Amino acid sequence: MIMIHTLNSLMRDGGIGVFYVRDDSSVIECNIEAQNLLKATNAIQILGGKLSVSDPIKSKEFALRVKIKSKQSGKESILIKRNENRFPIKLSLFPVKENILCQGTRGGKLLVILAEDTGKNGKFLAASFAEHYQLTNAEVSLATSLYRNKSLKKHSDERGIKISTTRWTLDNLFSKTYTRSQLELSRLIKLFSE
């Protein structure tokens, strides 16, 4: 569970979008940063009082994940691609105790959703990339090298591993990211960087 003093601080001046939502995605409250993010992108929106994702397929998945997460502990993050072909929006879901957050909000479990514009960080977001595609440390290391325009040979030499191991890791990256070439993978990696 996320601490209430942390939430209050984020809500006021954390530089990050904060949404308080019910398990049905109904928005109870959001801060100025969240409102600005809604205005700046078409990736997320509030429709009928509910936070949703613009992509219809992802929207159903998002609503289901919110429902499930409200009954679990811990954090879950989701990266939402933008139609504008810019950096994804990272949504982190945290369940909270109902009575801690908002007085008089009955019905359903509550969650806090932190919304970040990943493009503001100005670097390769290796952790977000790894989390989104469920990558191993070796795969993240190779993706970082590719982001830095290093060759497979240079990556292998720096890590002290065989080129065949690097190629095997690259094949795993292709499989997990649904890409078919190094160029396609590099373009995807650029979506997670500035």
Paired residues of 46 in beta bridges: 51
Per residue in 28-82, pLDDT (tens digit) is: 988 888 888 888 887 899 999 999 988 777 888 888 888 888 777 777 888 887 7
Q: Which helix (H) or strand (E) holds 35?
A: helix 32-40
Higher local confidence (pLDDT), 193 or 114: 114
pTM of the predicted structure, to 2 decimals: 0.57
Q: 57-65: long-range contacts (C-beta < 8 A, 24 or more apart)? A: 62/25, 62/91, 63/24, 63/25, 65/93
Using an 8 Å Cβ cutoff, are 92 and 77 in contact?
A: yes
**Fold of the CATH domain 4-120:** Beta-Lactamase (3.30.450)
pLDDT band at 163 (very low <50, low <70, confident <90, very high): very high
CB 103 within 8 A of CB 88: no
CATH architecture assigned to 126-191 = Orthogonal Bundle (1.10)
Give the start-to-end residue ranges of the domains of the chain.
Answer: 4-120, 126-191
The number of angstroms, rounded, from the C-alpha of 76 to the middle of its chain's C-alpha atoms is 9
Give Cα 15 distance to the centre of its chain: 16
Q: Which residues lie closer than 8 Å to 51 by C-beta, 6 or more apart? A: 19, 21, 25, 27, 44, 45, 66, 113
Percent of the chain topping pLDDT 70? 78
Per-residue pLDDT of 123-155, as tens digits, reads 556 677 777 788 888 898 898 888 878 899 999
Look at residue 98 and tell me whether its pLDDT is greater than 90: no
Model pLDDT for residues 63-76, shown as the tens digit of each residue: 888 888 877 777 78
